[in-house]
Amino acid sequence: MSETFKAILVSRDEEKKQSVAVVDMTEADLMDGDVTVEVEATTVNYKDGLAITGKAPVVRRWPLVPGIDLAGTVTSSTHPDWRKGDKVILNGWGVGETHFGAYAKRARLKGDWLVPLPERMSAHQAMAIGTAGYTAMLCVMALERHGIVPDRGPVVVTGAAGGVGSVAVSILSTLGYHVIASTGRPAESAFLTELGAAEIIAREELTQPAKPLGKERWAGGVDAVGSHTLANVLSMTSYGGAVAACGLAGGMDLPSSVAPFILRGVSLLGVDSVMAPKALRLEAWRRLATELDHEKLASLSTTIGFDGILAAARDIVEGKIRGRVVADM
């Protein structure tokens, strides 16, 4: 008889009402793939919270095991790049959206989606970074490619106490940038200062309707919020600057004008972590292994078990989570 394991399953009835349950599964229940992984650690991202609560249409196949991030050990493989015992990381590729994800003890995946766990990095540490941290590094790399280096001036990070924001603050400060952290949680000021923020501003400074052009305050930005916040960040970006946009916690709209682009030469850099090419993924994870301060990383993450995932998913959507959440499986 096949070994059973616990999994979180999101379902929807004929009236499209969503429900979530913890169920027993076997490997026979998993979806197609050429690599099976024993999940050792996962995480709860904002996107996972949306999937579990149904607050946004993240899940596009029913029923589904959510969870967009995992780290673990290969238990079987027919893919040429992977063999039993290999340590791997999975981020994105529609896992937890259209393919069974991380919130189960086993996952069957396509080998092309996997990257190797960097040496001297544990599965737990990888998930303290997770999609949020990996996305933050992709944003930093995008700014660098555009010539936004520390000497150009300050960089603003919105949603700074969240998953992407907190890792972005840590990476940017470690690389020598003057980081301005925007947060709606004043109580997190000490936390953000410890991560390396040089200045902290209230979220409210960026949530009102934006002027076409505002006072030039920063050379670049990392934005995980969208909507009015992104519009304000763009309007206050200095000549020739750039903003990396990677999220929509404040909304999918962009109530901006063309003024920052045509009068100041500002660039808006779109950052997608889900379908990013493998070479970019490998470079991001290589840099995360070497350039992210792992003592800081430990300070910005909280550890839970499998049984805590559902509560954490609800909390992250309600803005109650600071930094990163790691679930040891």
106 neighbors 75 (Cβ within 8 angstroms): yes
Q: How many domains does the chain have?
A: 2
- 46-53 vs 309-317: helix axis angle to the nearest 10? 100
Compute the average pLDDT of residues 210-239. 98
Stated pTM of the model = 0.92
The answer to whether residues 240 and 167 belong to one domain is yes
Is the pLDDT at 135 greater than 70, yes or no? yes
Instruction: Name the residue range of residue 252's domain.
Output: 130-270
CATH number at residue 142: 3.40.50.720
Same domain, 316 and 266: no
Q: Can you tell me the distance from the alpha carbon of 57 to that of 199, in angstroms, rounded to the nearest whole number?
A: 35
Q: Are residues 247 and 206 in the same domain?
A: yes
Residue 1 has pLDDT above 70, yes or no: no
Tokens standing for residue 152: 């150009």
Q: Are residues 109 and 194 in the same domain?
A: no
Cα separation, 232 vs 207, whole angstroms: 7
Q: For residue range 12-30, what is the model confidence (pLDDT) as tens digits?
A: 999 989 999 999 999 999 9
Q: Is residue 9 part of a domain?
A: yes
State the residue for tokens 């780290």.
Answer: 71
Cβ–Cβ under 8 Å, residues 97 and 131 = no
Question: For residue 91, what are its two tokens?
Answer: 């981020």
CATH number at residue 31: 3.90.180.10
Phi, psi of 47, deg, nearest 5: -65, -35
Backbone angles phi, psi at 77, to 5 degrees: -160, 140
Helix, strand, or coil here: 5?
strand
Indicate if 137 and 246 belong to the same structural domain: yes
Encoded tokens for 272: 């997608």
Average pLDDT, the chain: 96
How far apart, in whole angstroms, are the C-alpha atoms of residue 132 and residue 128? 9
Query: If you search the block for the tokens 């309600």, which residue do you land on?
Result: 318
